[in-house]
Structure 1
Amino acid sequence: MTDSTSITRVPGADGDHVTYCRICEALCGLIARVEGGKIVRILPDRANPHSRGHICVKGPALADVAYDPDRVTAPLKRIGGPGEFAAVSWDEALDEIAGRLSASIESHGANSFAVNAGNPPSMGWPSSLAAPFFQAAMGASRMYSPASEDISSVVLATELMFGTHAFLFPDLAECDHLLIFGSNPLVSHGSLVIAPRFKEDLDQIAKRGRVLVIDPRHTETARKHEHVPIIPGGDVWLIGAMLNTLIEENLIDSSFIAAHASGMNELAAAMEWLTPEVAAPRCGIAAETIRTMARDFAIAPRAAAMGRIGICRGEFATLTNLFVHMLNVIAGKFHRPGGYGWGHGGTASDTQYRGISPGARHGAIPSRVSGLPSVWGAQASVTFLEEMLTPGEGQIRSLLVVGANPVMSMPGGPDLPKGFAQLDLMVALDLYITETTRHADFVLPVTTALEREDINLFFMNHMVRPFAQHVDAVIPPVGDARMEFDILRDLAARMGRAEAFGKAAPFEMADAALRAGVEGRNGLSVERLRAAPHGMMIEGGRWDFDFTKRLGHADGKIHFWSEPIAAEIARLRQAPAWNPSSLRLINLRKLRSINSWMHNVEGLVRSDRASLLMHPDDAMARGIEDGGKAELSTSRGRIVVNVEISKEMLAGVVCYPHGWGHEGGWQRARATDGANLNMIAPAGPQSAERLSGMSNLEGFAVEVRALA
């Protein structure tokens, strides 16, 4: 443990600095050791009461990013083709951007400007505010983000059922029977449910009862617990049949449903056909096993079902997430110890999540071309290119990219440069010259997590054990890097549009949020957090609030039935059967990788390799050998991949990681082996789930052919 006398809060001062990781949602505590003004080592913060000394291999790599010689540390202006830049001063860059952006918006209207925001800025408080504030300053409405590759379906399911966008998650601390659908938390460390020591939580649940991992792959989490193999896309059939069983056998919380829900009779009638016998061939799980899973879940006193990205990006993504919510509520697991519901947090007031702002409501800002809806104010990624290329009012003519790399992360991403070439202006705020930012007119350097003051405000309300922490910058900004909030506020001021940023600084806003939340009455404030550098647990009970005040529907009820739910169940009933002779592809999450933005760190990628995992029977049938090369293809194209034969795969299913196949100016990333899966993934508006605009990135059909 670090000696408290060696702790310093002065950026760049020699000694140990308390900070926390902002790579994933676990937000593990770190100690950054500085010598000679430079970070020489990053260690776990064993005094952090939330992560208690846990970090993964990626946390220490933050220092490698900060000092990366390929990092952009001065404003760059494009002087030729993609990737050809020259350094300029901040004043020169911001003045020219202000003039060109003002002219473009004046000529084409406010909605000709769009924002594409991603990681890593979304993981920090002031940085996460920057793009939305600037968008408001421009009077624009089009925002693209990773949401439709990540969370749009679960956000929409929550809106439809609860009338809010607040995330629901299991009470890992007291649960003794947990179902995990489409999640591998021993690698992801949790997502939309924050528990830095997820492994220990699962071990304790298993000791008290059971952890069932429902996945097509024998994942790292499945190896530790009970694995239930499932056909990709089969979750909606499995959970639907479990609901059918609960209703048929009256294993439901009738009193709670009568008091707090509507539409139960309509749902029950619509689900009569979805029996375990109907579901079994669609999910690959025997009918009697489905019934047993439903019964065991219903009778367990402290049980919860959770899902994540594996059920968020399939053909019936929104319905699958609705079924997860319904399974918890109908079986009597909602808002009770060991069950499923909203978090307590430190910033949520009793009514904060009641209702949804007009701009965030489902479909409020649809694509003007294909009509695909927005969710939570974000447009579907598969509409990005059509909105740049299709003439007319609202055609995107200017673009701000903040910490995003859509060429790598979006379906059809490699085609986006066709749209970029039509823009009046493209400005990127980033750490690197990436596959996307190489096409920008300007690339503006931003700070890393270690170079800025921060607070974990945004994530406090979906922590299993609520925790709050404020940290100072460890080192001053490297080179001429600036924080996103400061850059965009300055740019808005040069355009005469700074009013949207207001007069309050980000940490004044944070303090107001803390004082207005449920813990404000107990004195929670930024000042109090600054006095506790390792952070502090929020002691309010997980269920210590009136959940009815967070229900956003006008009738104050949980809705089991609505027109969209009815339409999706009807669509499911008409869905064609899976062709068992075809292969389906699912994505692979790797411990050393986080999307694409840390692939320039030698310590992470030197022992990593992007490979297609394939069952031995599937490989043998195609004459493919372990370690060989193969062509992976769809109707959109082909890529060449390394093949690893693995018995952890279900036969008929292959698996490949996202975010590889680099170009751009980051040399180590460019030298990594692998291909960009989004070159062949289903793309275009016709490929997305119509209800949510969610990209179909899990369980789509592929062909694999051996290469000589």
Structure 2
Amino acid sequence: MENGIHYRTCHLCEAMCGVAIEMKDGHIASIKGDADDPLSHGHICPKAVALQDLHEDPERLRKPVRRTRNGWQEMEWNDAFELVARRLHQTREDFGRNSIGVYLGNPNVHNHGSLVATMPFLRALGSQNRFSATSNDQLPHMLASLEMFGHQILFPIPDIDNTDLFICIGANPMASNGSLMTVPDFRGRIKGLKSRGGQLVVVDPRRTETGKLAEEFHFIRPGTDALLLMAMVHTLFAEDLIDLGPAERLAKDADLLRLASLRFSPEAVSQHTGIAAEDVRALARKLANTRKAALYTRMGTSTQAFGGIATWLAYCLNILTGKLDMPGGLLFTQPAIDLVALGAISGQSGHFGKRHSRVRGLPEFAGEYPASTMADEILTPGEGQIRAFVTVAGNPVLSSPNGRRLDEAFSSLDFMVSVDYYLNETTRHADVILPPTAALERSHYDLIFSMFAVRNVAKYSDALFDAGPDTRHDWEILLELAHRLEKQRKGGRLPIRSELGWQAFKQVGPDPILDILLRTGPYGADVGRIRGLTQPAIDLVMDILPDGHPLKGMAKLSPLNRRWQGLPKGLSLPALRDNPNGVDLGPLQPSLPERLFTRDSKINLAPRCYLRDLDRLHEQLEQPVKDDLLLIGRRHVRSNNSWMHNSQRLVKGKGRCTLMIHPRDASRLGLQASDSARISAQDRKIILPVEITEDLMPGVVSIPHGWGHDRPGTGQSIAAAHAGASINDILSDEQIDPLVGTSVLNGQSVTVKVWRPERQRKRA
């Protein structure tokens, strides 16, 4: 790569910050924020600088390796593909198509090449035993979007740049830069909010980095957010504060929601939540009486026993107070490549509960079972037992509950293959590891997070480095495996037409597909410049085509639609190459009812699945409040899940994998700041240094997610030297939200005791 400044998008979290990478003599000289990026305006967090560390990491795998009695040995690509395809096919032949499991980690959604190749690979694999990070993360949001708006990834996004009140419950955008809300430089945007006279309100069991910026902060007991939100709904109806605004003619079944809320008064929930009844009422009034306001929830409310109900109610509160489809409230994006509309046209808007897992009967969502039942499906004998497994850019041993049981499960498999460039806590169990190129060695376009951004933007980057001839991109790996599996299934040969199709797909790759989608999307070709096309002629064609016709659906999405006349035009891959800083496509705009995908084009305020689950929520009110210590996770701006701890610049300094505990609880348990503590649940336990802080609600302890690099047989020396402990080693995989199957990562009970090595040795 030639010397000079090259512009890219950081892919390490959801924020899509623009970076300016200076190259000198083929090496990275510096990484800084791109001041001309239309979304991030020069902001970056510490992770962006570590892009260089990830690229240059000498422990990153470059060639396939296989496990042998003498350790890991490198393989040639063709031999590796042949071995993997043969073993997977043999497992399928011997034990049936569902004897193969697959897990997709969240880095896949930062990678348009992987997204393009994943579906052909899954079709070739043919198994129903699919899992991903979704059920440890955003699944409640996807269910709410499907049930209320008709599409699983149609998420309403807070218009944070124009709001006057931002209520943040169970989220920490200062550390995450937003999640299902792509919002780089959250601090700067909150500073803008305050300069407009606006206010930030935070509700959380911990006074997070975001909570410390808030004018108003409330502690809440973990796992009780649904009670708080339902009491706020109760208040809106009781005090006649309902005003649906733009959704007035679109929302249905508000009366059912009113009836459902009658049992959940602020007084009824106060003791359980830890929030005074009058504070609950004041919060509801503030949301209702502020014209430009948004209520936002995330991981803390999603990954708990009532995550499904809590996420639904957060959307309901925004709708009941007129904040949906309102500038300064919640708006839907209009990305350059609209995967929501494309999915709806092809009948892929999402589905839920079409089948249930073999062992525990948990519901699938969009074809995936909850990750919390992976170990069950591997370890439980019987028809459909998983005997072989594929992981793609995922480390579930550290990122899913009961990681030690997953260790046991993966070690019991007949065969395992991982597409990953690290030998980590999960891939150490694989028989073969197929390492893809690193991010800077491939092109980049954010297909997914452009749909969640607080402003419509588009940005493309060519590969910064030449990967070399003896490497493979992840999309090449997945397509090659899919092709070979199809050939194995057909007896070793494919029909000529099918064979030519596979070869063409592998040669073309994702970027030409990207170009087609850009050109035919809302910001694509300028119809007015196409000879012979006039708007009346276009309208006539649109009228002639029957509703439901695929061409009409594509035409509605394309520049031919009159609806897109006011949008910028001419977007294509060459156009984005000519604008390396990215293209600003404008602020979020009201888009209802056209953006809805429900059958009746209405917003469903009271889906029956939620109403049925309210009895379970009410049972919580009838139970006495226990004095158990409740565990919550946390995130740090210098970390992201489990795969960024092999960068020295990110892990250096004061250790961050600690047990946070309130002074009152520490005193009661005899803990001091210099101590280590044993945190346990049933027969599971970990040891961590103690951090005493008043930033936690009494009765709550906190451990960060993604650590636990002390397992033998990994190949990340820096991570191992800063091992910490995995919160998922003490979390139970049996605790889930039964409504949707999400793992309970916040609110499980734990026991904490002083742990001193010399005392333990004496006892031994």
TM-score when scaled to structure 2? 0.87
- Secondary structure at the residue paired with 1:495? helix
- Does the Cα contact within 8 Å between 1:354 and 1:551 map onto a contact in 2? no
2:453 equivalent to 1:463: yes
Question: How much has 1:572 moved relative to structure 2?
Answer: 0.7
- Alpha-carbon distance in structure 2 between the residues aligned to 1:255 and 1:407: 46
- The residue aligned with 2:190 is 202
Amino acid at match of 1:137: A
2:510 equivalent to 1:523: no
Question: How much has 1:197 moved relative to structure 2?
Answer: 2.0
- Alpha-carbon distance in structure 1 between the residues aligned to 2:99 and 2:228: 44
- Alpha-carbon distance in structure 1 between the residues aligned to 2:389 and 2:424: 16
User: How many corresponding residue pairs?
Assistant: 691
Amino acid at match of 2:144: A
- Do the aligned partners of residues 274 and 655 (structure 1) sit closer, same or farther apart at CA in structure 2, a change above 3 Å counting? same
2:679 equivalent to 1:632: yes
- Does the Cα contact within 8 Å between 1:172 and 1:201 map onto a contact in 2? yes
2:406 equivalent to 1:416: yes
- Secondary structure at the residue paired with 1:211? strand
2:158 equivalent to 1:167: no
- The residue aligned with 1:647 is 694
- Cα deviation code 1:329-366 (max 9, x no counterpart): 01111101101131122222894465894693012342
- The residue aligned with 1:92 is 79
- Do the aligned partners of residues 417 and 582 (structure 1) sit closer, same or farther apart at CA in structure 2, a change above 3 Å counting? closer
- Alpha-carbon distance in structure 2 between the residues aligned to 1:598 and 1:54: 20
Question: How much has 1:33 moved relative to structure 2?
Answer: 2.3
- The residue aligned with 1:228 is 218
- Alpha-carbon distance in structure 2 between the residues aligned to 1:334 and 1:22: 29
- Alpha-carbon distance in structure 2 between the residues aligned to 1:556 and 1:393: 42
- Alpha-carbon distance in structure 1 between the residues aligned to 2:504 and 2:594: 30
The range that moved more, 101-110 or 357-366, is 357-366
- Cα deviation code 1:591-625 (max 9, x no counterpart): 11111101111111121431011111100011100
Q: Which residues of 2 match residues 306-325 of structure 1 at below 5 A?
A: 306-325=296-315
The range that moved more, 203-212 or 173-182, is 203-212
Q: Which residues of 2 match residues 667-678 of structure 1 at below 5 A?
A: 667-678=717-728
2:564 equivalent to 1:574: no
Question: How much has 1:15 moved relative to structure 2?
Answer: 2.8
Q: Which residues of 2 match residues 499-510 of structure 1 at below 5 A?
A: 503=505, 505-510=509-514
- Cα deviation code 1:275-304 (max 9, x no counterpart): 110111111111111111111110111011
**Counterpart pick for 1:446 among 422, 426, 436:** 436
2:527 equivalent to 1:513: no
- Alpha-carbon distance in structure 2 between the residues aligned to 1:254 and 1:449: 44
- Does the Cα contact within 8 Å between 2:102 and 2:130 map onto a contact in 1? yes
Taking only the aligned residue pairs, the percentage that are identical comes to 36
- The residue aligned with 2:384 is 394
- The residue aligned with 2:167 is 179
- The residue aligned with 2:479 is 489
**Counterpart pick for 1:621 among 639, 662, 668:** 668
TM-score when scaled to structure 1? 0.94
The range that moved more, 576-585 or 654-663, is 576-585
- The residue aligned with 1:22 is 11
- Cα deviation code 1:32-90 (max 9, x no counterpart): 22223222322222222221111111111111111112111111011038xx3111111
- Alpha-carbon distance in structure 2 between the residues aligned to 1:350 and 1:476: 33
- Does the Cα contact within 8 Å between 1:305 and 1:328 map onto a contact in 2? yes
Q: Which residues of 2 match residues 279-298 of structure 1 at below 5 A?
A: 279-298=269-288
Q: CA RMSD in A?
A: 2.1
Question: How much has 1:269 moved relative to structure 2?
Answer: 1.2
- Does the Cα contact within 8 Å between 1:431 and 1:446 map onto a contact in 2? yes
Question: How much has 1:469 moved relative to structure 2?
Answer: 0.6
- Alpha-carbon distance in structure 1 between the residues aligned to 2:584 and 2:63: 39
- Secondary structure at the residue paired with 1:565? helix
- Cα deviation code 1:238-266 (max 9, x no counterpart): 11111101011111125766521222112
- The residue aligned with 1:34 is 23
Question: How much has 1:554 moved relative to structure 2?
Answer: 1.8
- Alpha-carbon distance in structure 1 between the residues aligned to 2:335 and 2:129: 30
Query: Tell me, which stretches of 5 or more residues in structure 1 are unaligned?
Result: 1-11
- Alpha-carbon distance in structure 1 between the residues aligned to 2:408 and 2:257: 46
- Alpha-carbon distance in structure 2 between the residues aligned to 1:176 and 1:343: 20
- Secondary structure at the residue paired with 1:595? coil
2:116 equivalent to 1:129: yes
2:732 equivalent to 1:682: yes
- Cα deviation code 1:129-188 (max 9, x no counterpart): 333321112223332111111011111122122221111121112110111011111111
- Cα deviation code 1:347-406 (max 9, x no counterpart): 228944658946930123421221101223321011101111233333222221111011
- Secondary structure at the residue paired with 2:312? helix
- Alpha-carbon distance in structure 1 between the residues aligned to 2:165 and 2:503: 46
The range that moved more, 318-327 or 281-290, is 281-290
- Alpha-carbon distance in structure 1 between the residues aligned to 2:683 and 2:139: 24
- Do the aligned partners of residues 531 and 193 (structure 1) sit closer, same or farther apart at CA in structure 2, a change above 3 Å counting? same
- Alpha-carbon distance in structure 2 between the residues aligned to 1:199 and 1:376: 35
- Do the aligned partners of residues 466 and 267 (structure 1) sit closer, same or farther apart at CA in structure 2, a change above 3 Å counting? same
2:261 equivalent to 1:271: yes
- Do the aligned partners of residues 413 and 459 (structure 1) sit closer, same or farther apart at CA in structure 2, a change above 3 Å counting? same
- The residue aligned with 1:330 is 320
- Does the Cα contact within 8 Å between 2:332 and 2:590 map onto a contact in 1? no
- The residue aligned with 1:46 is 35
Question: How much has 1:542 moved relative to structure 2?
Answer: 1.6
- Does the Cα contact within 8 Å between 1:609 and 1:673 map onto a contact in 2? no
- Do the aligned partners of residues 628 and 659 (structure 1) sit closer, same or farther apart at CA in structure 2, a change above 3 Å counting? same
Question: How much has 1:519 moved relative to structure 2?
Answer: 2.0
Question: How much has 1:13 moved relative to structure 2?
Answer: 2.8
